[in-house]
Structure 1
Amino acid sequence: MVLDRRTLLRSGAIAGGGAALGLLGGGTASAAPGLVRRGRPRLTHGVQSGEVTGREAVVWARSDRPARMLVEVSRRPDFRNVRSVRGPVLTPETDLTGKAFLHGLPTGEDLHYRVRLADLDRHSLLSEPVTGRLRTAPGAKRDVSFVWSGDLAGQGWGIDPALGGYRIFKAMGAVDPDFFLCSGDLVYSDGPLAESVKLPDGRTWRNVLTAEKAKVAQTLADYRGQFRYNLLDANLKAFNARVPMLYQWDDHEVLNNWYPGEILDLPEYTEKRVDVLAARARRAMLEYTPTAIRPARNGRLYRKVSYGPLLDVFMLDMRTYKDANGPDDSPTQRDGLLGAEQASWLKRELSRSKATWKVIAADLPIGLVVPDGTAQEAAAQGDGKAPLGREREIADLLSYAKRHRVRNMVWLTADVHYTAAHYYDPSKAAFKDFDPFWEFVSGPLSAGAFGPNALDATFGPQLKFQQAPPHANTSPAEGFQFFGQVEIDAHSKTLTVHLRDIDGAVLHSTALTPAR
């Protein structure tokens, strides 16, 4: 039998149109549809956009069969005067997902896009379109607004449509942000769901279930299924179609508190090498999120995203370069969260940044003690004295920023499943060689709520606000879910942070005036 290119594409033997990411993986492709289908192709999980700057954006989609992705972009919602972009062929090699990379967009405008799929045999046979909207970064000073949070479908709390599903995305969409900064744990690959959970008030939480969410993820197919699960929620799909995403990962995309080189001693895992699991999770994550990361950029996850003259966002990766959890009390340690390459990059890019505000998107908090049993998971290790262990890497970064006059850094994070505002004051710190700054914490999106965590005095954090649940693993039905909103005023350049609850009510606000 002779196989032509079209047959190969359908079988997944050839990667489609630049959509394949070429990353190490394992397992088999998840439930690809049959090779012979009738009728039109179909978009299966809505659309997403991401990595939007003044001139560029990424648009994501998934097909129900091998098909060509087509994108049209317009200033008008009726799609008159469109620009057409020929996207990749979506094949089983990437679980039928793909991304179109848009270039040369007009700055500072609301743009409408729609995605169609073209049949590979009959090019005129098109799917029904799915539309979305994105807002490009301004070229001149303009008000900027974005939201952030993390942690979705964790601790056994998945999608319950009867209780509103992931209803926090309605509240986030209602503030009409320019983009959403996802601070990690977009999926919980290590958290199997049960069919139902009894709530304290007598009601029953009933999870939508899929095969992949009934067990821990290990194969590439399992990890892909984790991301597909969240896209079953109507609130999230509607939000994705209206608000671009900046995405960073944390631990639960792979499993709780993982670090490179770890070997598991957990009976539910047959694959014990965390590096193998992380490679599979990373591939699935890049397939299912609208990131612009490609192998040509060395596949690295840390990056800077410029959003006009008022804002640069520095997306950190505190997981790929992490050391093993322990007492975290070495007096000579040089890294353990960022790694030498990422730390050098961050220092260089901070000193070069001309933006008024430098937002540091960190997937782990700085001053909060985050225990991992008797070990430590984040930077703080709890003694409140001179920097030890991973604190030394943070101290080095903060000292560099002071010496090089890096002004107006604001740190945003999630991870600990409650919301708080911390002011880091060198006059009250054990380590004093830094300029004052703020760290804001907000989450979870829809997961078990916890906290509060203890603050370590090494960098002088002062608690200005916090709200945490009354008991551990409070369900989303009890309301202790949080997101943050950042607003930057174009005229005054004031940056205001609002900490909001599951319905969007403002719990606390802090207005920051930029230093000169």
Structure 2
Amino acid sequence: MGLTRRGLLGRAAGVGVATLGLHAAGLSSRAAWAAPRFAADPFPLGVASGDPASDGVVLWTRLAPDPLAVDGRGGMPDATVDVEWQIAEDESFGRVVHSGTAAAVPELGHSVHVEVTGLAAGRDYFYRFRVPSGDAVSPVGRTRTAPTTATGLKLAFASCQCWYEGFYTAYRHLAAEDLDLVVHLGDYIYEYGVGATGGVRGLTLDASYQRETRTLAEYRNRHALYRLDPDLQAAHQAFPWVLTWDDHEVENNWAADIAQIDSDGFPDGDVAAFRGRKAGAFQAYYEHLPLRLPQKPDGADCQLYRRLRFADLLQLHVLDSRSYRDDQVCGDGTKSGCDAERSDPSRTMLGAAQENWLLDGVRRAGTAWNVLANQTLIAQADHDTDPNTHTVGLDMWDGYTAARDRLLTGLHDRGVANCVVLTGDIHRSVVADLKLDFDDPDSPVVATEFAGTSISSGGDGTPMDTFGFNWMTPGVNPHFTWHNAQRGYTVVGVNATELRADYRVVPYVTTPGSSVETAASFVVEADRPGAQQL
């Protein structure tokens, strides 16, 4: 961003005071590294910010001069390192408003999470890190605090970024958008082996990357591999992010303390072993992302669901539909039948506490819009064109129909207007009306669901494929408005009277350099649920 390292080191004045939430406080028994010297740049994973509030934001980086070291330590010693940080009103850091020192501890992979407060609402700031004993300076990031008054807000949402199946060209285009924040809905990494040549990336990695992740070191290195991508780094540097996980941050289709059937490598029902795997996955997730202290995991437990407010315009309810759900019925997969099992009223997708938290929160929000950051498709999705057969995905809300009914009925009975759901997971884009009864065409529309496609998972996409053709066959899913199977992200603009979604797609991802275009645009008018295509 136009700064030299020498220029940064020459600026020492004008610092302020911030209130810190240092995740490292009191956690390390390791001695400090008094005068760190690195064999390579300690900031190759870039910088990031997240979870913006009206008075502050989380700043993140991780020291890792050897980011893919087999032991998962990033080339760092078993010692604590002090890292200086600054946040300024201008890109050249002539007006530094806050600064301080954070401890990067080995117990947390030498990651740094600084919770800065005392900032002005609704404005841009620039931030950076450095290790004071040497000439080691991070890239510069830009962030934005949440507004206290707002006539408009613009965000983008994305999900599913399988590194070896495609390049992150979509993130390069996303970084060039004019946004207030980015919402990531899960599958930030994939636990599978990356293949002998790193898939389309054409890179040879050691044997630890050829197998499924199991340990903390392997999860750390998988995150580091993804974070080395320059396009992903650019998107993190450009905006604050709000993140939640889906399944592949741990393993495919996990459910609470239950591993995936027949592919987990653990004896059936070995909860303790799977919780050990989860603990490593959760810790690596926290170590590599700009999350606040309440989202720091405690072993295999972590409260990731939370909400963020953007003036009186929008309340964002961030969900976790993995950690508390019941196991998938009928052996998981996409199947017909299982109606009694999937409609069992005792089954839950969110868990009782989160379900109550959500319904109470949308009722009390007092904002023009309630937006749910959700993982798997809520809308009923029949995969079978035969009107006498219903085939559904049992990992989605179709496998938890009583829980879905409680959610949609709860929104309806509480009179929650202007509710919109942002969804990931399915590697395709779908716009759907969420109805009290999907089988009754006259049933009221409770909310609108915008499901977004993947960044790269699934490789090159097409506007329509066989899967989409079945979904969109007349009469099969009449509550579906639109479908597309290309890769990309979705930009959402909000004001008091409408919410607009622009589906931005790239023609290909298996080679770099694709252009971007808008495949379709939709608007939801205030007090009129359901999306209208523009």
TM (norm. structure 1) is 0.79
Judge which range, 311-320 or 495-504, deviates more: 495-504
One-letter code of the match for 2:52?
V
Q: Does 2:252 correspond to 1:256? A: yes
Shift in Å, 1:368: 4.7
86, 90, 114: which one aligns with 2:128: 114
Q: CA deviation at 1:406?
A: 1.0
On the 8 A contact 1:157/1:207 being kept in 2, the answer is no
Alpha-carbon separation, structure 1, partners of 2:120 and 2:37: 39
Q: Residue 380 of structure 1: SS of its match in structure 2? A: helix
Mind listing any 5+ residue stretches in structure 1 that lack a counterpart?
1-15, 23-32, 120-124, 159-164, 198-203, 382-389, 469-479
CA deviations 1:152-178 (Å, max 9, x no partner) are 116x416xxxxxx31110111122211
- Residue identity in the other structure for 2:106: P
Where in structure 2 are the equivalents of 1:421-440 lying within 5 Å? Answer: 421-426=431-436, 429-430=439-440, 435-440=445-450
Tell me which of 179, 185, 188 is aligned to 2:187.
185
Counterpart residue type for residue 24 of structure 2: A
Change (3 A) 1:364 1:499: same
Distance 1:173 1:196, change over 3 A: closer
Contact 2:45 2:224 in 1 (8 A): yes
The amino acid across from 1:19 in the alignment is A
1:486 is matched with which residue? 492
Alignment deviations for residues 229-285 of structure 1 (CA, whole Å, 9 cap, x no partner): 111111111111111111010000111111123256657736863322222111111
The count of residues paired between Structure 1 and Structure 2 equals 453
Question: Are residues 1:324 and 2:324 paired?
Answer: no
1:407 corresponds to which letter in structure 2? A
Bigger CA drift: 218-227 or 77-86? 77-86
The answer as to whether partners of 2:156 and 2:181 remain within 8 angstroms in 1 is: yes
State the alpha-carbon separation in 2 of the partners of residues 376 and 362 from structure 1.
16
Q: Is the 8 A contact 1:74 1:83 kept in 2?
A: yes
Residue in structure 2 matched with residue 101 of structure 1 by the alignment:
115
For residue 366 of structure 1, give the secondary structure of its aligned residue in structure 2: coil
Alpha-carbon distance in 1 for matches of 2:192, 2:382? 19
Deviation at 1:50, TM superposition (A): 0.5
- After TM superposition, give the deviation of residue 127 of structure 1 in Å: 2.1
Q: Is 1:136 matched with 2:137?
A: no
What letter matches 2:425 in structure 1?
Answer: D
Report if aligned partners of 1:426, 1:459 keep a CA contact under 8 Å in 2. Answer: no
Q: Are the equivalent residues in 2 in contact too, given 1:43–1:117 (CA < 8 A)?
A: no
Q: Is 282-291 or 133-142 further displaced after alignment?
A: 133-142
Query: Is 1:500 aligned with 2:504?
Result: yes
* Partner SS state of residue 223, structure 2: helix
Q: Aligned residue for 2:525?
A: 513
Q: Structure 1 pair 206/42, CA: closer, same or farther in 2 (3 Å)?
A: closer
SS, match of residue 329 in structure 1: helix
Q: Distance in 2 between matches of 1:238 and 1:467?
A: 26
Alignment of 1:115-514 (within 5 A): 115-119=129-133, 125=134, 127-153=136-162, 156-157=164-165, 165-195=167-197, 206-207=202-203, 209=205, 212-263=208-259, 266=262, 269=265, 273-294=273-294, 299-326=302-329, 327=338, 329-330=340-341, 331-369=343-381, 376-381=394-399, 390-426=400-436, 429-430=439-440, 435-448=445-458, 451-452=467-468, 454=471, 462-468=479-485, 480-489=486-495, 493-502=497-506, 503-514=515-526
* Contact 1:216–1:268 under 8 Å retained in 2: no
Please give the alpha-carbon distance, in whole angstroms, between the structure 2 residues aligned to 1:309 and 1:446. 35
CA shift in 2, pair 1:73/1:196, >3 Å: closer
CA contact (8 A) 1:321 1:338 kept: yes
Contact 1:140 1:309 in 2 (8 A): yes
Q: Is contact 2:89–2:125 with CA below 8 Å preserved after alignment?
A: yes
CA distance in 2, matches of 1:62, 1:97: 4
What is the Cα deviation at residue 90 of structure 1?
0.7
> Deviation string for 1:370-412 (max 9, x for gaps)?
99x997111115xxxxxxxx21112112222222211100011
CA distance in 1, matches of 2:479, 2:179: 29
Structure 2 CA distance for partners of 1:317 and 1:247, relative to 1, 3 Å: same
Deviation at 1:19, TM superposition (A): 2.8
Which residue matches 1:29? none
Please give the per-residue CA displacement for 1:161-201, whole angstroms capped at 9, x wherever unaligned. Answer: xxxx311101111222111110100000134333165xxxx
1:231–1:356 Cα change, 3 Å:
same
Query: C-alpha separation between the residues in 2 aligned to 1:459 and 1:293?
Result: 45
Paired with 1:21 and 1:191, the residues of 2 have a C-alpha distance of 36
TM-score (norm 2): 0.76
Amino acid at match of 2:487: Q
Question: Offset of 1:84 from its aligned partner?
Answer: 3.0
Q: Cα distance 1:87–1:103, how it changes in 2: closer, same or farther (>3 A)?
A: same
Between the aligned residues of both structures, percent identity stands at: 24
Secondary structure of 2:290 counterpart: coil
User: Do the aligned partners of 2:59 and 2:114 also contact (CA within 8 Å) in 1?
Assistant: yes
Larger deviation, residues 493-502 vs 37-46? 37-46
CA distance in 2, matches of 1:21, 1:376: 44
Do the aligned partners of 1:217 and 1:223 also contact (CA within 8 Å) in 2?
Answer: yes
| Aligned 1:81-100 pairs, distance under 5 A | 81-100=95-114
* 1:414 maps to amino acid: G
Residues 501 and 98 of structure 1, relative CA distance in 2, 3 Å threshold: same
Backbone CA RMSD of aligned residues = 3.5
